[in-house]
Structures are given as C-alpha cells and as structure tokens.
Amino acid sequence: VSSHRTIGRLAIDRFSVGPLETNCYLAWDQQLRSAVLIDPGSFTSQLADGIAAEALEVEWILDTHCHFDHTAGNSAAKEALGARLAIHELDLAGLEGMHISAASFMPGLDVPESPNPDRLLKDGDAVTLGGVELTVMHTPGHSPGSISLVRESVIFSGDTLFSGGVGRTDLTGGDWEALMQSLAALMRLPDETLVLPGHGPETTIGRERVTNPFVGEALAAIRG
C-alpha cells in the first residue's frame, strides 16, 4: 500500500500497479466492509492480500477509462473477486479493443482481454458500496468515456486531472476541447476537495486551480 486514509466512513488504500505505475484505489465502507476497486491496471498479490486482510466484499470494479494501464487487471480481479465491472458507455469500444491497443502501445506486453462490463455508466449515475455512494462525473477528453468519481470531499480523477498536469489527448478518441471543458467542470468543486489521480501524487482542487497551467488555460477559455 502506497497510502492509506479515511474520509468519513470511507477508507482508501492506494496501490501503484503495472508498468506505467498506475494508481489503483481500493475504497471501502468501514462499517459494512463493502468495497470498490478503481482502475486495476494489474491485479497484484498485494491487492489480493489487502482485500483479504480487511475482509472486504468488493462490489464493483470501476474503470475510470478504457486504457490498458487501468484495465489490464479487470479479468483477474473479476475472477478472483466475483465483483461486477462498470465503465462509461463511451469507453466500451475502447475496452473491447484494450488488449490489442496495449500490445501496439508496449510491444511484448501480453494483456488479457477484459470481461464484458456488467454495467455501463452515464454522467450523474451513483455507484453504491455499502452505505456509501460515489457519483459518476463524465469528464471526457483523455478518452471519450473518461469519468471521475466524486464522494463529498474527494474525487478520483483518473487520467483527466493530475497534480500539475492533465491526461494526453493524442490517443484514440482524445479531444483537447473536451478535456478543457472537463477541467472547467472539475473546478466547480470546492477548493478543499482531495484529488486522487490515476498517476502521480494526490493534490487538491484548490491547489490545481492556482498552480496547474492547463487548468488556467481551461478557465481562461471559459471566461472568453
């Protein structure tokens, strides 16, 4: 575990997985022991051990988007945990071709095909783990179906927003304009909101508002 924290009744462990050091998050309701696994770029033994040690029932595997570094462990995680898989509907096609694009992105990398999702997500949907709800925010740009997951004072931002950066838009389905609009939408969250990104260290909305040049560009574009 790279980090552990609690926010209200939600506990969150961060694991760094796979060749691109993706942040995979295990989040659970401390009262009811129900969990979600966000972005299993690889289903590592540390992850399996962490889930077992906390005696968690993983309800959902949530992919913030289709790229292999967030989804290559879908198959192993689903088989081990029996959890349902969910992704935004606009990243379904990308998920279906994920194992093929992975091989072209990193030759020699052998990534198993993802299982079919059990649920296709849309903006505003709620995903429930025990007594906790995560709200789906559609934040396209890095991919057509990129989502962020919001719970009160915390957001899992996938590859949309990083500490000091943003996700690239030169991959299939990437869209810079859409990314700028997504950043502007994220900036409507309160400054104290903790941002847990798909790569790199955590940050806050307030910090990115002031220091992230891409956020500055997005907000300037909105102001015209």
Residues that bind Zn ion (CB under 5 A): 67, 69, 159, 198
Q: Do 66 and 91 contact (CB within 8 A), yes or no?
A: yes
Q: How far is the CB of 134 from Zn ion (least distance, A)?
A: 19
CB atoms within 10 A of CB 189: 19
Closest to Zn ion by CB, 34 or 146: 146
Closest to Zn ion by CB, 132 or 195: 195
CB atoms within 10 A of CB 28: 27
Among 52, 107, 120, smallest CA distance to 81 is for 52
Closest to Zn ion by CB, 19 or 190: 19
Q: How far is the CB of 13 from Zn ion (least distance, A)?
A: 18
Q: Do 104 and 35 contact (CB within 8 A), yes or no?
A: no
Closest to Zn ion by CB, 67 or 78: 67
Burial of 145 (0-12, 13-18, 19+ CB in 10 A): buried
* Token digits of residue 77: 């995680």
Closest to Zn ion by CB, 24 or 129: 24
Instruction: Give me the residue whose beta carbon is nearest to Zn ion.
Output: 67
Q: How far is the CB of 77 from Zn ion (least distance, A)?
A: 17
Q: How far is the CB of 162 from Zn ion (least distance, A)?
A: 9
Q: How far is the CB of 20 from Zn ion (least distance, A)?
A: 6
Pairwise CA distance, residues 201 & 17, whole Å: 14
